[in-house]
A = this chain, B = another copy of it.
């Protein structure tokens, strides 16, 4: 059974068709797994083979197309009627002579949609150069309309039901961060601390379990804090070092990222204490200042002014829209909290605001996932904001 109501999926599809019409698209080929889920409910670890959802201007329901063995998974999770879930045979898998996109092109023609104006997600992770070429070949086209991020932008404002999922993820995120902090100790291997974090992510709460986040836990320490995307090792945590905890919880593919910094040892350097206090103050006052109607750049400006008063600056963005997603990223690649972003904040937009301050040889970060409410911003997790001391 699909996670949300048929009415909710149809509303999402209607919104997508409006965005399609704006670009002159009559048939949209959606390959981003999060967008496929958003439009149909389909949820499975099958995105390692080509699959797509077709949204057609004059059809109420989209068509899900995937590997034949995954049609049962679509029946379990998508709201679609049986005729709109189509599987391609095994002989399309991992061969040089044909490609699943050839099958999809043939299906488009069979259904009489061969002359429609086609849009594709040109930069979606799993829409490869060969996928694009095979679909063009079968449909006899040299160009498609670029529909990159089209559905991502439709996803920007969440429904109340989606917010409910993110609130559950927020409850799990509190447990995940508490577990991480209680597993930091000098001599404990990084892999063992990460193992405990994973355990907390999946077991969730007694009321609801967790799902796999789109990014693995990041818990670097020492000089590795300057290499933000290295994963863990067997090395033991050392005393008198800071640890960055970039974590998340996930509920039915909806995320709540959360980041904190901890210091293993009784006496953090004074400069770290100072940076932590300034950063936490900035997070607090920026969150407090948010109201619907502000733009992404307005939000960033509040933070920027605050740290400038303390003699700091930060180059990169301080937040981004997020929610439903699959590996390798939970970010939606749409609205950001950064200079130049004119997105007007509206209720039920959801962001991860992450304030990472990196000096030459130390740093501090603290983040919150929040939704825009009718009057302000409300975080999904409730977790103390400070430099945590692990004695």
Which residues of A line the B interface, CB within 8 A?
Answer: 43-48, 69-70, 72-73, 75-77, 90, 94, 96, 99, 120, 122-133, 146, 148, 189-192, 194-196, 198-204, 208-212, 215-216, 218, 224, 226-234, 315-316, 327-329, 333, 336
Contacts and interface: CB of A to CB of B under 8 A. Distances in A.
Given A47-B328, A230-B73, A230-B76, A203 B195 contact: yes
A180 to B, nearest CB: 13
B125 A48 contact: yes
8 contacts: A46-B229, A47-B328, A75-B227, A120-B129, A123-B128, A196-B199, A198-B198, A198-B201
Contact of A44 (B96, B196, B231, B234): B231
Given A45-B229, A224-B76, A212 B202 contact: no
Contacts of A333: 94
A73 B194 CA distance: 19
| This protein's copies in its complex | 2
Nearest to A136: B129
Contacts of A328: 45, 47-48, 126, 327
A92 to B, nearest CB: 12
A224 to B, nearest CB: 7
A315 B72 contact: no
Nearest to A328: B48
A309 B126 CA distance: 42
A234 B122 CA distance: 36
Nearest to A101: B123
A133 B126 CA distance: 15
A189 B150 CA distance: 37
Given A122-B128, A199-B196, A328-B48, A191 B216 contact: no
Contacts of A195: 198-203, 210
A95 B227 CA distance: 23
A329 B126 CA distance: 12
